[in-house]
A = this chain, B = another copy of it.
Amino acid sequence: MFEFKLIGEDSKYGARAGIIIVNGIEIKTPVFMPVGTYAAVKTVSPHELYDIDINIILGNAYHLYLRPGVEIIEKMGGIHRFTGWKRAFLTDSGGFQIFSLAQFRKISREGAEFKSHIDGSKHFLTPESVINIEHKIGADIIMPLDVCTTIPIDYKIAENALTTTIEWARRSKKEWESLNTHTNLFGIIQGNIYKELRKRAVEEIVQMDFSGYSVGGLSVGEERAVMYDLTNFVTSLLPKHKPRYLMGVGAPGDILESVIRGIDMFDSVMPTRNARNASVFIPGGTLSIKNSGFKDDSQPIQEGCECYSCRNFSRAYIRHLFNTREILGYRLTTIHNLFYMAKFMEKLRNSIISDNVEDFKKSYYDGLI
Residues of A within 8 A of B (CB): 38-40, 42-47, 67-68, 72, 75-77, 81-84, 295-296, 298, 312-314, 316-317, 319-321, 323-324, 326-328, 330-331
Cα–Cα, bound, A317→B326 (Å): 23
CB distance from A54 to the nearest CB of B (A): 15
Q: Is the CB of A45 within 8 A of B296?
A: no
CB nearest neighbor in B for A321: B40
State A39–B324 Cα separation when bound (angstroms): 10
Contact of A84 among B45, B76, B313, B330 (CB under 8 A): B313
Residue of B nearest to A37 (CB): B324
Q: How far is the CA of A328 from the CA of B327 in the complex (A)?
A: 10
Listed by A's residue number, 29 A-B pairs whose Cβ atoms lie within 8 Å are: A38-B326, A39-B317, A39-B320, A40-B321, A40-B324, A40-B326, A40-B328, A45-B328, A47-B312, A68-B316, A68-B319, A68-B323, A72-B296, A72-B320, A75-B296, A76-B296, A76-B298, A76-B314, A76-B317, A77-B298, A81-B298, A82-B314, A82-B316, A82-B320, A83-B317, A84-B312, A84-B313, A327-B327, A327-B331
Which chain B positions have C-beta within 8 A of A72? 295-296, 316, 320
Q: Which of these, B47, B67, B83, B321, contacts A323 with CB under 8 Å?
A: B67
Q: What would 18 more interface pairs be, CB under 8 Å, given A72-B320, A75-B296?
A: A38-B320, A38-B321, A39-B320, A40-B324, A43-B327, A43-B328, A68-B295, A68-B319, A72-B295, A72-B316, A76-B314, A76-B316, A77-B298, A81-B298, A82-B316, A82-B317, A83-B317, A84-B313
Distance A43 CA – B72 CA, assembled complex (angstroms): 27
A84 and B328 CA atoms in complex are apart in Å by: 13
CB-CB under 8 A from A77, the residues of chain B are: 298
Residues of B within 8 A of A328 (CB): 40, 42-45
Query: Chain B's nearest CB lies how many Å from the CB of A337?
Result: 15
Complex formed: what's the CA distance from A180 to B47 in Å? 43
How close is A116's CB to chain B, nearest CB, in angstroms? 13
List chain B residues, Cβ under 8 A from A46: 312
How far apart are the CA atoms of A144 and B295 in the complex, in Å? 28
